[in-house]
Amino acid sequence: MDIEKMVEIELLYSQYASLLTDKQRDIISMYYEEDYSLGEISQILNISRQSVYDSLKRSENALKDYEEKLGIVKKSNLLEKKISLIEEEISKLDRSLNGKIAENSTQLKVLLEEVKELI
């Protein structure tokens, strides 16, 4: 399995799982999180391997469609990058001013941690 695709689906699943049906969630979870094969999933759910494959593909497409329309994962990734850049700039300021703004930078760091918790 392609690792990039696996990571992509897991990120999308973490955001949009509640929009899938129970059966779709089960199949995605078993395949991507529990590392079951299509054959194993078909035995567990007592459905054909082809049904598992079809459901898996429909679920993956649905997750991609949700991301295309809502963009939550993309926005979250962008926000995390911006937060990292802000943290770097605070550190540069701290070093260049020899701690003269330590109190202000500490407050900024606390605010950034609070923002990270919201992600």
What gap in Å lies between CA 70 and CA 66, rounded to an integer?
6
What CATH code is carried by the domain that includes residue 60? 1.10.10.10
Identify whether residues 43 and 15 lie together within a single domain: yes
Q: For the chain, how many structural domains are there in total?
A: 2
Reading the chain (119 residues) residue by residue, the pLDDT tens digits are 688 999 999 999 999 999 999 999 999 999 999 999 999 999 999 999 999 999 999 999 999 999 999 999 999 888 888 888 888 887 777 777 765 666 667 777 788 888 877 77
The pTM score is 0.74
Closest CA to 80 of 115, 56, 40: 115
Do 113 and 86 share a structural domain?
Answer: yes
Q: 90 with 38, same domain? A: no
Statement to judge: residues 56 and 114 lie in one domain? no
Q: Which two tokens stand for residue 28?
A: 């995605």
Question: What are the helix (H) ranges across the chain?
Answer: 3-16, 22-28, 38-45, 49-70, 72-96, 102-118
Range of the domain at 78: 74-118
